[in-house]
Amino acid sequence: MGRKVFAVCASMVFLFSFFNPVRAQYYDWRDTVTEYPNKGTFYHDKFVGRKTASGEVFDQNKFTAAHWKLKLGTYILVTNQNTGLQVIVKVNDRCPKRGVIDLSHRAATAIGIRGCQPVTIRVLPPGYEERWAAQEGMFDSVSVKHHPTPASAPAPAAQGKIPVYASSGTKGTTAYGLYLGTVASHGQAYAMANKLPEAYREQLLVEPTADGDSLSVSLDVRLTHQQAEQLRKALKSSFPAAEIRVQNP
């Protein structure tokens, strides 16, 4: 008899869990406490200038996001679980994938999102519009440093006429990187990244200039001087201001 009761209870638990998915799959815009796990990604540049689901024009340099469920106009706090960095974004578009928050490039850069990374999102109560807008100045001083490819990694195959190297600088030797130019916004930095071979895009380093009025864009790689010179020449048509620079030890 005891076994039968246990079997019935186990079956009920299974059915209950089947018809009642975990709470994280249901997003209540009135719930300002729960932190929902999501995957953080960012928009492709092809969407720039297009209308979002809210009717606003998409801009990579605004703190906005697309979500499949949350109410349009909702302000949410996004936390990168790998870095602990946070940003406030406004949901103004729809993302077809469940469990994904698709960020503008500026918002993604502010919290160190590269590719797809684990994040949590939390709905913010009314009154956060001013704090959201205040980020325009706050994140001008944020730079996201991507880790260079380990020296032991094999060099990827070359793409066309542009050589692709694994970082080759080792401790005790001088290593070189490549300064690409100066831009006025994170959106422009993102456009520069799209001109690079895919193997170099995650090595992009964007940081404020000394005067704080613009952003310096460079490749955070550790190459020999010869490799850096070959890469500079190969990228010259797309990045005429490119210069070889010594990397910090």
- For residue range 54-79, list pLDDT tens digits in order: 999 998 889 999 998 888 999 999 99
Rg (CA), the chain: 23
Q: What are the residue boundaries of the structural domains of the chain, listed by start?
A: 23-139, 143-249
Residue 142 tokens read as 């944020």
Residue 154 identity: P
Arithmetic mean of pLDDT, 166-180: 75
Quick one: residue 99, left, alpha or beta (phi over 0 = left, psi -120 to 50 = alpha)?
Answer: left
Helix (H, G, I), strand (E, B) or coil at 45: helix
Q: Where do we find the tokens 């520069």?
A: 192
pLDDT at 133: 84
Cα 203 → chain centroid: 13
pLDDT at 42: 87
CB atoms closer than 10 angstroms to residue 134: 12
**CATH number belonging to the domain at 143-249, selected among 3.40.50.970, 3.30.70.1070, 3.40.50.300, 3.55.50.30:** 3.30.70.1070
CATH superfamily of 23-139: RlpA-like domain (2.40.40.10)
Assign 163 a pLDDT band (cuts: 50, 70, 90).
confident
DSSP annotation string for 103-154? E-HHHHHHTT--SSEEEEEEEPPTT-HHHHHHHHHHGGG--BPPPPPPTTSP
